[in-house]
Amino acid sequence: MNDLLVADSVSKNFGNFKALNEVSIAVPKGSIFGLLGPNGAGKTTLIRIINQITMPDEGTVQLDGQPLRPEHIRDIGYLPEERGLYKSMKVGEQALYLAQLKGMAKTEAKSRLKYWFEKLEIGDWWNKKIQELSKGQAQKIQFVVTVLHRPKLLIFDEPFSGFDPINANLIKDEILKLRDEGATVIFSTHRMESVEELCDHIALLHKSNKILDGKLNDIKREFKTNTFEVGLQSQNSNSVLAEIKDKFEVLPATFKNLNDDIKLNIKIDESISSNDLLSFLASKAEVHHFVEVIPTANDIFIETVKNN
Amino acid sequence: MNHLPLIIKREYLTKVKNKSFIIMTFLSPLIMIALIAVVAYLSQLNNDKKRFISVLDETEFLSDVFQNTSNTTYTLLNDLNLEDAKALVKEKNDYGLLHISKVDSIDEVAQNIKFYSEESPSLTVIAGIERKIEKRLREMKLQKDGVSLEQIEASKINIDIAQESFEGQKSSKIDNIIKLAFGGLAGYLLFMFIIIYGNMIMRSVIEEKTSRIIEVIISSVKPIQLMMGKIIGTSLAGVTQFAIWVVLGGVLLTVVSAIFGIDMTQASSQQQELMNQAMQAEGAQAMAESLLNGISNLPILNLVIAFMFFFIGGYLLYSSLYAAIGAAVDNETDTQQFMLPILMPLILAVYVGVFTVIEDPHGTVSTVFSFIPLTSPVVMLMRIPFGVPMWQQVLSLLLLVATFIFAVWFAAKIYRVGILMYGKKPTYKELFKWLKY
């Protein structure tokens, strides 16, 4: 088994509203899995099913090859989008309580907490009440509480909202570190730049259906249009331009460049290799810029959602 | 995994360590005692006031009736006409003038008594005077008919019908009063407990929603565990508070009454007089004996066990409903529309308890309401001291437990869906839909 979590045609109805329609995902061990989708697509419902907060109407979910059982909550760390802490409880007490709810022994939880608090330089908060902390500070505590019991599966729902860029980076690094230590991460968001940075697998939900999933690179390959962004310089640019337009499908392009030259997106057939294009262009003009246009997660997201 | 003890512990400690909880725990008895002390002090002030009453008795039949007491001094006026007497009394600033006009025979005296005063006199003063005169006149009339004082004294009979059930269970009037007191106390205690601590549970559920921690918690424990933990933890905090109130109240009461020398048990000397009369009639010893007897006649074991079961059952039933309300709404102001259906049966229960159980503890109304689960804890607790057949108690308890299980199921459903719903003001229709999720 290489997949830590497998959801098999999971459906969930709320009254007459179908929140999930036979959604299947497989999250490989040690991966960072992006669960993407517009608002109301069913991401949170799926996550809640994995956390056994709600039960699926149909379909099964397996963790590590076994159907979900109540004991599995020890193996999962969940940072929900709607998050908070008991405001009038002290930081240390609260973290201990939440850790014990996840099945940790008190002494172990204490020493692990000490480790994390030192690591994130928040050791002197132990006796503060949550209401004395800022929102970002409380989020840090929340993150520690989520990962404290060393779960196999970490689920983050919009983890970076509420963090300033410095702390967001800190948390991002910690997530990557946890992945390197063997944890599997499900990462739900609609902030595509963080998907680009973190995820190696994605699944896209839209209107309760899964419309796309797989390795991010494979998907990108699938979505690429054999388009190259080129910047050229020539004495007689008009004739060069005419010649290119004659031979290839051409779109205008915008990118930053030192020279005021020809900027184009050139789409080529699969019969032509990128080298052929490059040597053709080199024979006509001076090539300053030659990049294959790879669709961003954002492009894929928007295009797929639009087409559905 | 059983996290129940952990949750109970947290709920209990958070409640008990809460500042306003601590303040209320220690302040409430102080306030209550202060209130009682002030009332007692004021009424004593009132009683300490000496009253001077002048008596103008033209018949001279009644002159020796008016003996001075600690707070009333009677002055007999002689050889004055009414107008002069009035003027004199007014001048002396006496409480009032009792005038008995001259009549020929004892039979007419009763119609010819008048009380003159500046302000309208106190009811108890008038009643006291009337009682004195009535007694004397009756004796005089009887004497006129040839009955001696000794005979009159001997004819005084005090009836206290001995009551006994077919099974040989003895009881008396005083027993009934004791039963009422026990039942009323138990019912009222439950009522107060539900209102105070039910609300506390509701608020703590709402707090979890508004602080948004609920989803974190709920990914670790089952909603029903969380709900039960909350209910039990809060109840324990409530029991703690109640116990402190009782102990503190007792100590303070003793201290205050020692300091101020106020005997709290007798609010006014008029009542004391009445009590004394009753005591004399029956004999103080007999009174105390029948009181003890009455208490020992109570089905103590049944009472204690039933109290525990009905108290716990009733409290759990209501608090699960409170928890469901807390889960259904976003903030406390939205709770109003759901509070009424909960409070109605509770208030109804207390009314039924007060008005029908006293009148007829085993009548149709009392019996029916002691079976209906939402009212049964209060009404049954009030009925039990009067002796309720075991099958009725068991049936009522079974119904209560069944309803409680249903209520917990219902509340858990609402709870599970409601705690994750934000920003939606729920209607009853919406709640009904949640049940099907």
Q: A83–B10: do the CB atoms touch at under 8 Å?
A: no
Size of chain B, expressed as the number of residues it contains: 437
CB contact under 8 A, B213 and A83: yes
Q: State whether A98 and B436 contact (CB < 8 Å).
A: no
A45: nearest CA partner in chain B:
B420
User: Which of B216, B421, B432 is the best mutation test for A, with the most CBs of A within 10 A?
Assistant: B216
Helix B376-383, helix B173-210: angle, nearest 10: 160
In a domain, A42, yes or no: yes
Are A29 and A83 found together in one domain?
yes
What are the start-end ranges of the H helices in chain A?
43-50, 91-101, 106-119, 135-147, 165-180, 192-198, 216-223, 237-247, 274-284, 297-307
Task: Evaluate whether A184 touches A153 at the Cβ level (below 8 Å).
Answer: yes
Paired residues of A209 in beta bridges: A206
- The tokens for A139 are 């989020």
What are the phi and psi torsion angles at A208 (to 5°)? Answer: 75, 0
Q: How far apart are CA B4 and CA B11, in angstroms?
A: 10
Between A84, A101, A145, which is nearest B211 by CB? A84
Nearest chain A Cα distance for residue B1, angstroms: 7
Q: What per-residue confidence (pLDDT) applies to B280? A: 53
DSSP conformation letters of B158-178 = -----EE-TT--EE-HHHHHH
Mutation for testing the A interface, residue in B212, B213, B419, B437 having most A CBs under 10 Å: B213
Residue B355: Cβ-neighbour burial (10 angstroms; 0-12, 13-18, 19+): exposed
The phi, psi pair for B381, rounded to 5°, reads: -60, -35
Residues of chain A neighbouring B217 (CB-CB closer than 8 A):
98, 101
| A290 closest CA partner among A250, A263, A261, A259 | A263
CB contact under 8 A, B6 and A100: yes
Q: Are B343 and B322 within 8 A, CB to CB?
A: no
Tokens standing for B386? 């009067």
- Report pLDDT for B168: 67
For residues B379 and B348, is the Cβ–Cβ distance under 8 A? no
Q: Outline where DSSP puts E strands in B81-162.
A: 96-100, 113-116
Which of A163, A196, A221 marks a domain boundary?
A: A221
Residues 32-91 of A with CB under 8 A from B: 48, 51-54, 70-71, 73-74, 76, 78-80, 82-89
Residues A35 and A61 in one domain: yes
Contacts 24+ apart (CB under 8 A), A6-10: A6/A61, A6/A62, A7/A46, A7/A49, A7/A50, A7/A59, A7/A60, A7/A61, A7/A62, A8/A59, A8/A60, A8/A61, A8/A62, A9/A58, A9/A59, A10/A46, A10/A49, A10/A56, A10/A58, A10/A59, A10/A60, A10/A61
Nearest to B83 by CA among B66, B94, B73, B97: B97
**Is residue A17 domain-resident?**
yes
- Same domain flag for A97 and A239: no
CB distance B215–A89 less than 8 Å?
Answer: no
User: How many residues are there in chain A?
Assistant: 308
Within-domain flag for A305: no
CA angle B153/B156/B158 to nearest 5° reads: 150
Strand, coil or helix: B68: coil
Question: CA-to-CA distance for B85 and B98, rounded, in angstroms?
Answer: 10
Q: Which structural domain, as residue segments, surrounds residue A184?
A: 3-221
Is A302 within the bounds of a domain? Answer: no
> In 3-state terms, what secondary structure has residue A81?
coil
Token pair 């008594």 is found at B113
- Establish if A149 touches chain B: CB-CB under 8 angstroms: no
Q: What is the pLDDT of residue B210?
A: 82
User: Would residue B337 be called left, alpha or beta, if left means φ above 0 and alpha means ψ between -120 and 50 degrees?
Assistant: alpha
Other C-beta atoms closer than 10 Å to the C-beta of B52 total 14
Which candidate, B38, B31, B28, B50, places its Cα nearest to that of B260?
B38
Q: How far is A73 from chain B (nearest CA, A)?
A: 6
Boundary of a domain, candidates A179, A199, A221: A221
- Out of B1, B211, B422, the one facing A87 most closely (by C-beta) is B211
Q: Is residue A297 part of a domain?
A: no
A18 with A157, same domain: the answer is yes
Q: What is the share, in percent, of chain A residues with pLDDT greater than 90?
A: 25
Q: How far apart are CA A281 and CA A275, in angstroms?
A: 10
Mean pLDDT score across all residues of chain A: 87
pLDDT at residue B26, rounded to an integer: 86
For B349, phi then psi, to 5°, come to -60, -45
Is A124 domain-assigned? yes
Q: Does B216 contact A142 at a Cβ distance shorter than 8 Å? A: yes
In our burial notation (b when 16+ CB lie closer than 10 A, e otherwise), range A173-188 reads: ebbeebbeeebbbbbb
Kindly state whether residues A89 and A229 are assigned to the same domain. Answer: no
Give the pLDDT confidence score for residue B268 in this predicted structure.
Answer: 47
**pLDDT of res. B288:** 67
A57 with A200, same domain: the answer is yes
CA distance A257 to chain B (A): 48
CA of B403 vs chain A CAs: smallest distance (Å) = 25
The CATH number covering residue A192 comes to 3.40.50.300
Domain's final residue, options A221, A253, A279: A221
Same domain, A105 and A19: yes
- The interface residues of chain B toward chain A in range 206-225, judged by CB-CB distance below 8 A, are 207-208, 211-213, 215-222
Q: Do B221 and A14 make contact, defined as CB atoms within 8 angstroms?
A: no
Amino acid at A178: L
Inside any domain, residue A186: yes
- The strand ranges marked E within B58-156 are 72-77, 96-100, 113-116
A119 and A252 together in one domain: no
* Nearest C-alpha in B relative to A71: B1
Per-residue pLDDT of chain B (437 residues; tens, 9 = 90+): 578 899 999 999 988 988 888 998 888 888 888 888 888 788 777 666 778 888 888 877 777 778 787 778 888 887 778 888 888 888 888 888 888 888 777 777 778 888 888 888 888 888 888 888 888 888 888 888 888 888 888 888 878 777 777 766 666 667 777 778 888 888 888 888 888 888 888 888 888 888 888 888 888 888 888 888 988 999 899 889 988 888 888 888 788 777 765 554 444 444 455 555 555 555 556 666 666 666 666 677 888 888 888 888 888 899 988 988 888 887 777 788 888 888 888 888 888 888 887 778 788 888 888 888 888 888 888 888 887 888 888 999 999 999 988 888 888 888 777 777 665 566 777 777 666 65
Q: What is the pLDDT of residue B267?
A: 44
Q: What is the ipTM of this complex?
A: 0.78
Give the one of A15, A48, A80 whose C-beta lies nearest to B433's C-beta: A15
CA atoms of A101 and A114, how far apart (whole Å): 18
State how many domains chain A has. Answer: 2
A166 and A129 co-located in one domain? yes
What chain B holds in terms of domains, given with CATH numbers, is 51-147 (3.40.190.10), 172-238+282-435 (no CATH)
Q: Cβ separation of A145 and B14 shorter than 8 Å? A: no
Q: Give the Cα separation of A29 and A152 in Å (integer).
A: 9
Mind listing the pLDDT tens digit for each residue in A205-217?
988 899 888 888 8
B208 CB neighbours in chain A (<8 A) are: 86
Pair A213, A229 in one domain: no
pLDDT digit string, tens, across residues A84-131: 888 888 999 999 999 999 888 999 999 999 999 888 888 888 888 888
Q: In sequence order, what are the residues at sequence separation of 6 or more whose Cβ sits closer than 8 angstroms to the Cβ of residue B114?
A: B98, B99, B101
How large is the average pLDDT for residues A232-237?
82
Nearest by CB: B211 against A48, A54, A86? A86
Same domain assignment for residues A154 and A29 = yes
Residue (of A177, A223, A218, A179) closest to A201 by Cα position: A218
Looking at the structure, do residues A145 and A264 belong to the same domain, yes or no? no
Determine, for residues B3 and A101 on separate chains, whether the beta-carbon distance falls below 8 Å: yes
Residue A307 inside a domain? The answer is no
Classify each residue of B244-272 as buried b or exposed e, where b means 16 or more C-beta atoms within 10 Å of its C-beta: ebeebbeebbeebbeeeebeeeebebbee
